[in-house]
């Protein structure tokens, strides 16, 4: 029997045998419900509009429900309109109201509410009524709850008709419909898994994180771009420089200044002053999105970009000098530049530099920041550390995030498990200890958290804060997984052979089933019914690459939600869907195409594995927890009946 002291504590929640029995009945019933739908995203890279859209229509799940309910009774046009209404209710309502006369619009609203009731019943059918009630928006909770259970009240037809008529006549139909649509979307996806790289390239990682904070059940596996932002938030100056270089290079001024409140005026003034006569042609920003609140002239942005690139390269050299244990001495590049001759020597070969204008570099001490650069970095670092919204997002990333997650027989991680050429887990030294496989990821997770929770200014914290940069760009970082990050070469050397970044052997080995089986066993999973879900490397399907690898054991779902990758991938990204019937990969069109033709929004969905039988809650990790609770409640019930614990109450 469970420890009697614990049972006495539990009796405060269940003070009678009847209360314990009722909860046992409830939990056993929940175990027999179908499991909720899990939804997997990777490499969002700031693409808030695309992410929000895909989440709103649940990668076509809601449209499938509409087709199942109404394909024989409702026209295709009306089914499309209903799908659009649920995905983007306020936009759709504004459009429909503008297209109809007031009386016609009121009648349309009545019909829409009836149809929304049917869709909501369908998507919420796998939940208990109490769980659905918790999701209902508070303003209309009583009304929605009544409408959802209309089938149980045959003698109240007029009552329900009057509810809907009153919603319309009081002028609250738009607000009611919008909140009903939100409830449908809440019920369509039970849990959300984000496999890293929320930040960089796209315009609004800040809005993505706000959306995730509102979601009821979400976990995050850190990516290398997320780690760089965590490092910047903790004051790692090379991470600050790196994050800002990418932000400026992708024209993300709205996110930096309006979103996170990073004051870029010192940078713009410094860049205009130092690089005023330099055209900075190699530093033109990638303008994939226009800024609304903080537009910056392209010429000035190019100067800001170069300023941050030079500072970042200097700080990289400094951090590598401080940490010879990183084994990256070959990446201390600035001392290899002959600034007078305009050449650089790499791997025994000299290359012409594409840019020779370096007003802040002292050839005698090329790694040192100038006084102006140091003052600038101190101000920018303070701006990162004082951003209240960034602090909230950092806390969220720590509380909901980690290096990997094992959930419902799936292993989730962003990048790789470092391996040797022979296909074994690579032995990596971290803080003078050797780690490999799962133990290495666990050690990294602990070190990342120590940056936030160790004593401020302690050697442990300083070491952990510096380590964020290694995780961003180190060759044995499981979040990076490449031989080098060729920032210097891409800016300054024409020979593209020097730009090549060699992937860790992991990426070759996981094409084989036996390697994936080895990884799954390392994390305590049975390969006969488990999978690996991976991100980080875009799947170039137009070049023949497949997202399914390792004999069906591994799914790579970085398919190009980011506009920056769509030229390589040829489409708008993957999502993985795991419901009670199957695992399915949804391939999406680029969001720009969906905006132009929203009616052509259906993704291409392929079922990659059918479940041998419908998966119930009792078959999941939640089911394990529920059975443990049931056993404890049965112990409490036995304690009541044997008189070991007295029932409470009147």
Is there a domain that residue 251 lies in? Answer: yes
Q: Are residues 25 and 67 in the same domain?
A: no
Does residue 546 sit within a domain? no
Question: 165 and 259: one domain?
Answer: no
Q: What is the dihedral sign for C-alpha 482, 483, 489, 494?
A: negative
Do 68 and 161 lie in a common domain?
A: yes
572 domain residue, yes or no: no
Output the CA angle 566-567-573, nearest 5 degrees.
Answer: 20
Profile the chain (650 residues) by mean pLDDT over runs of 10 residues.
Answer: 85 95 95 93 91 80 88 89 89 91 92 92 87 84 82 64 88 92 89 94 94 92 97 97 96 93 96 95 84 80 97 98 95 96 94 96 96 97 96 97 97 97 97 97 97 94 97 97 95 95 96 97 96 89 84 88 75 86 86 66 83 94 96 95 86
Q: What is the DSSP annotation of 513-531?
A: HHHHHHHHHHTT--GGG-E
pLDDT of residue 151: 56
Question: Coil, strand, or helix at residue 240?
Answer: helix
Task: Indicate whether 571 belongs to any domain.
Answer: no
- In terms of pTM, does the model score above 0.85? yes
Do 418 and 474 fall within a single domain? yes
DSSP 280-335: -GGG----SS--SSS---HHHHHHHHHHHHHHHHHHHHHHHHH-GGG--GGG--GG
- Classify residue 495: in a domain, yes or no: no
Which of 147, 172, 189 lies at the terminal end of a domain, its last residue?
Answer: 189
Are residues 258 and 177 located together in one domain of the fold? no
Check whether residue 277 and residue 375 sit in a common domain.
yes
Q: Under DSSP, is residue 5 helix (H, G, I), strand (E, B) or coil?
A: helix
Beta bridge partners of 556: 534
* Residues 6+ positions from 48 with CB-CB distance below 8 Å: 202, 203, 204, 205, 207, 208, 211
CA 270 to chain centre: 34
DSSP SS3 for 583? strand
pLDDT at 59: 66
Indicate the SS3 state at residue 596: helix
Instruction: Please say which residue of 443, 471, 487 terminates a domain.
Output: 487
In a domain, 334, yes or no: yes
Shared domain check, 240 and 165: no
pLDDT of residue 125: 86
**Under a CB-based contact definition with an 8 Å cutoff, are residues 158 and 4 in contact?**
no
- Residue 37 per-residue DSSP state: P
Alpha carbon distance 591, 597 (integer Å): 10
Same domain, 311 and 397: yes
Sequence-separated (6 or more) residues with CB below 8 Å from residue 286: 249, 250, 251, 564
Q: What domain count does the chain have? A: 3
Helix (H) / strand (E) element for 354: namely none
SS3 of residue 178 by DSSP: helix
Tokens 């910056």: give the residue.
296
Dihedral Cα 534, 538, 544, 549, nearest 10 deg:
-10
Residue 165 shares a structural domain with residue 295: no
Co-location of 166 and 225 in the same domain: no
Residue-number span of the structural domain to which 140 is assigned? 59-189
Q: Note whether residue 340 is domain-resident.
A: yes
Q: Do 421 and 478 share a structural domain?
A: yes
Q: Is residue 508 part of a domain?
A: no
Domain termination site, one of 447, 466, 487: 487
Q: Which of 263, 265, 364, 247 is nearest to 308 (CA)?
A: 247
Same domain, 17 and 130: no
């Amino acid at each position: 029997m469970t420890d009697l002291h614990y049972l006495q504590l539990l009796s405060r929640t269940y003070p009678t045998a009847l209360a314990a029995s009722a909860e046992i009945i409830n939990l056993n019933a929940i175990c027999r419900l179908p499991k909720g739908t899990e939804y997997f995203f990777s490499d969002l890279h700031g693409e808030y509009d695309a992410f929000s859209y895909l989440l709103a229509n649940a990668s076509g799940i809601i449209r499938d429900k509409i087709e199942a309910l109404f394909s024989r009774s409702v026209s295709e046009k009306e089914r499309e309109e209903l799908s659009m209404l649920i995905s983007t209710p306020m936009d759709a309502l504004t459009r429909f109201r503008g297209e109809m006369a007031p009386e016609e619009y009121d009648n349309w609203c009545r019909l829409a509410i009836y149809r929304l009731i049917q869709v909501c019943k369908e998507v919420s059918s796998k939940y208990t009524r109490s769980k659905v009630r918790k999701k209902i928006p508070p303003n209309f909770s009583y009304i929605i709850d009544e409408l959802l259970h209309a089938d149980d009240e045959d003698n109240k037809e007029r009552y329900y008709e009057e509810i809907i008529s009153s919603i319309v006549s009081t002028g609250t139909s738009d607000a009611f419909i919008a909140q009903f649509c939100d409830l449908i979307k809440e019920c369509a996806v039970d849990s959300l898994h984000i496999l890293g790289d929320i930040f960089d390239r796209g315009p609004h990682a800040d809005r993505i994180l706000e959306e995730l904070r509102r979601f009821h059940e979400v976990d995050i596996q850190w990516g290398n771009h997320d780690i760089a932002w965590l490092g910047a938030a903790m004051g790692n100056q090379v991470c600050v420089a790196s994050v800002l270089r990418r932000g400026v290079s992708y024209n993300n001024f709205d996110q930096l200044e309006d979103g996170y409140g990073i004051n870029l005026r010192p940078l713009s003034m410094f860049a205009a002053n130092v690089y005023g006569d330099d055209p900075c042609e190699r530093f033109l920003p990638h303008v994939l999105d226009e800024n609304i609140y903080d537009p910056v002239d392209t010429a000035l942005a190019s100067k800001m970009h170069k300023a941050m690139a030079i500072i970042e390269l200097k700080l990289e050299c400094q951090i590598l000098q401080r940490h010879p244990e990183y084994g990256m001495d070959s990446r201390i590049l600035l001392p290899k530049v002959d600034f007078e001759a305009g050449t650089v020597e790499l791997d025994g070969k000299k290359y012409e530099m594409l840019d020779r204008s370096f007003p802040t570099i002292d050839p005698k001490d090329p790694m040192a920041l100038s006084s102006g650069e140091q003052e600038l970095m101190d101000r920018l670092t303070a701006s990162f550390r004082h951003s209240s919204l960034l602090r909230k997002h950092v806390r969220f990333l720590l509380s909901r995030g980690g290096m990997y997650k094992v959930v419902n027989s799936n292993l989730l991680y962003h990048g790789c498990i470092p391996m040797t050429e022979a296909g074994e887990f690579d032995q990596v030294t971290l803080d003078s200890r050797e780690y490999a496989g799962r133990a290495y990821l666990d050690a990294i997770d602990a070190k990342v958290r120590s940056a936030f929770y160790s004593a401020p200014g302690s050697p442990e914290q300083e070491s952990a804060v510096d380590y964020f940069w290694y995780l961003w760009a180190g060759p044995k970082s499981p979040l990076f997984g490449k031989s080098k990050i060729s920032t210097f070469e891409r800016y300054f050397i024409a020979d593209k052979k020097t730009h090549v970044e060699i992937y860790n052997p992991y990426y070759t080995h996981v094409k084989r089933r036996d390697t994936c089986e080895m990884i799954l066993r390392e994390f305590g999973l049975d390969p006969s019914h488990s999978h690996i879900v991976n991100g980080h490397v875009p799947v170039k399907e137009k070049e023949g690459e497949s997202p399914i690898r390792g004999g069906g054991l591994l799914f790579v779902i970085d398919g190009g939600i980011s506009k920056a990758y769509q030229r390589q991938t040829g489409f708008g990204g993957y999502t993985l869907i795991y419901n009670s019937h199957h695992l399915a990969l949804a391939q999406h069109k680029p969001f720009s195409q969906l905006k132009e033709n929203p009616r052509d929004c259906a993704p291409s969905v392929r079922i990659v594995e059918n479940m041998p039988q419908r998966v119930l809650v009792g078959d999941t990790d939640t089911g394990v927890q529920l059975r443990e609770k049931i056993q404890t409640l049965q112990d409490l019930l036995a304690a009541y009946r044997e008189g070991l614990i007295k029932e409470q109450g009147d």
